[in-house]
Chains A and B, each alone.
Chain A
Amino acid sequence: MPIYVDNREYPAAPEKNLLEHCLSLGLNLPYFCWHPAMGSVGACRQCAVKQYRDERDTEGRIVMACMTPAAEGLRIGLDEPEARDFRARVIEWLMVNHPHDCPVCEEGGECHLQDMTVMTGHNYRRYRGLKRTHRNQYLGPFLNHEMNRCIACYRCVRFYQDYAGGDDLRAFASHHHVYFGRHEDGVLESEWSGNLAEVCPTGVFTDKPFSKHYVRKWDLQSAPSICVHCGHGCNVAAQERYGRLRRVVNRFNGDVNGYFICDRGRYGHGFVTAPTRVRAPLLRTGNRELEAVGVDEALHAASEMLAGRVIGIGSPRASLEANFALKRLVGDDAFYMGVGGPDAAALEAVHAIRTETATRAPTLIDVENADAMLVLGEDVASTAPRMALALRQATRNRQKAIASGLGIPAWLDQPVRTAGHGQLSPLYVATPVPTRLDAIAAGIFRGSADEIARLGFAIAARIDARAPGVDDLTRDVSELAARIADALASASRPLVVSGVSIRSVAVLEAAANVALALGAKLGRPADLALALPECNSMGLELLGARSLDDALEHAERQPIRAAIVLENDLARRMPRAALERFGERVEHLIVVDHTLHATARAADLVLPAAAFAEGDGTLVNNEGRAQRFFQAYVPDGEIRESWRWLAELARRRGIECGWASLDDVIADCAASSRRLAPIVDAAPGARFRIADRRIAREPARYSGRTAMHANVDIREPKPPEDPDTPLAFSMEGYYGPRVPPALIPFFRAPGWNSNQSVHKFLDETGRALRGGNPGVRLVEPGADARRAYFEARASLPPSGDALRVVPLADVFGSDELAALSPPVAERIPEPCVVLGPADADARGIVDGMTAEIELGETSLALPVRVVPGLAAGTLGVPIGLPGMPFIAAETAKVGGRGTAGDPR
Chain B
Amino acid sequence: MIDERSIAAAKRAQTSERTRSESWLWSQVAVLLSQIRSMAEVFLHGFRRRETIQYPEEKPYLAPRFRGRIVLTRDPDGNERCVACYLCAVACPVDCISLQKTEDETGRWYPEWFRINFSRCIYCGLCEEACPTYAIQLTPDFEMSEYDRRNMVYEKEHLLISGTGKYPGYSFYRVAGRAIGGKDKGEAENEAPPVDVRGLMP
CB contact list, B150-197 vs A, under 8 A: 150, 152-153, 155, 172, 175-179, 185-186, 188, 190-195, 197
Q: Is B133 an interface position by the 8 A CB rule? A: yes
| With contact pairs A703-B86, A703-B92, A707-B98 given, residues A104 and B150 touching in the complex (Cβ less than 8 Å) | no
* Pair A131/B190 contact, Cβ less than 8 Å: yes
CB contact list, B57-106 vs A, under 8 A: 83, 85-87, 89-90, 92, 94-101, 103
Which chain A residue shows the least CB distance to B115? Answer: A707
What are the residues of chain A within 8 A of B153 when measuring CB–CB?
A: 707, 710-711, 714
Inter-chain CA distance A701–B179, complex, in Å, is: 30
* Pair B83/A104 contact, Cβ less than 8 Å: yes
| With contact pairs A130-B192, A131-B192, A132-B192 given, residues A703 and B90 touching in the complex (Cβ less than 8 Å) | yes
* Pair B176/A707 contact, Cβ less than 8 Å: no
Inter-chain CA distance A705–B98, complex, in Å, is: 8
| With contact pairs A148-B185, A706-B120 given, residues A179 and B197 touching in the complex (Cβ less than 8 Å) | yes
What are the residues of chain B within 8 A of A130 when measuring CB–CB?
A: 190-192
Q: Is B117 an interface position by the 8 A CB rule? A: yes
| With contact pairs A214-B101, A704-B89 given, residues A711 and B177 touching in the complex (Cβ less than 8 Å) | no
* Pair B192/A108 contact, Cβ less than 8 Å: no
Q: Is A815 an interface position by the 8 A CB rule? A: no
* Pair B97/A703 contact, Cβ less than 8 Å: yes
Which chain A residue shows the least CB distance to B185? Answer: A133
The 8 Å CB contact of A707, one of B117, B133, B178, B191, is B117
Inter-chain CA distance A172–B132, complex, in Å, is: 33
> Which of A192-200, A215-223, A602-610 forms part of the interface with chain B?
A215-223
What are the residues of chain A within 8 A of B172 when measuring CB–CB?
A: 103
Inter-chain CA distance A711–B100, complex, in Å, is: 14
* Pair B176/A103 contact, Cβ less than 8 Å: yes
* Pair A708/B98 contact, Cβ less than 8 Å: yes
B46 CB to nearest A CB, Å: 47
Inter-chain CA distance A130–B193, complex, in Å, is: 9
Count A-side interface residues using an 8 Å CB cutoff: 47
| Chain A window 218-249, contacts with chain B (Cβ cutoff 8 Å), 1 for yes, 0 for no | 11000000000000000000000010000000
* Pair B177/A131 contact, Cβ less than 8 Å: yes
The 8 Å CB contact of B116, one of A108, A128, A179, A707, is A707
| With contact pairs A104-B178, A215-B100, A710-B115 given, residues A134 and B90 touching in the complex (Cβ less than 8 Å) | no
| Chain A window 11-26, contacts with chain B (Cβ cutoff 8 Å), 1 for yes, 0 for no | 0000000000000000
Which chain A residue shows the least CB distance to B172? Answer: A103
* Pair A703/B176 contact, Cβ less than 8 Å: no
The 8 Å CB contact of A173, one of B175, B179, B186, B197, is B197
Inter-chain CA distance A211–B24, complex, in Å, is: 80
What are the residues of chain A within 8 A of B198 when measuring CB–CB?
A: 172-173
Q: Is A527 an interface position by the 8 A CB rule? A: no
What are the residues of chain A within 8 A of B177 when measuring CB–CB?
A: 99-101, 131, 133, 148
On B, residues with C-beta under 8 Å from A are 83, 85-87, 89-90, 92, 94-101, 103, 109, 115-117, 119-120, 132-133, 149-150, 152-153, 155, 172, 175-179, 185-186, 188, 190-195, 197-199, 202
Q: List 24 A-B contacts (CB under 8 A).
A: A99-B177, A100-B177, A101-B176, A103-B176, A104-B109, A104-B176, A108-B85, A129-B190, A130-B192, A131-B190, A131-B191, A134-B195, A134-B197, A136-B179, A136-B185, A148-B177, A177-B195, A177-B197, A215-B100, A219-B90, A701-B90, A703-B92, A704-B89, A704-B97
On A, residues with C-beta under 8 Å from B are 99-105, 108-109, 128-136, 146, 148, 172-175, 177, 179, 181, 211-216, 218-219, 242, 701-708, 710-711, 714
For the complex of A and B, list the 3 residue pairs with the smallest distance between their C-beta atoms, beginning with the closest. Answer: A99-B177, A704-B98, A103-B85
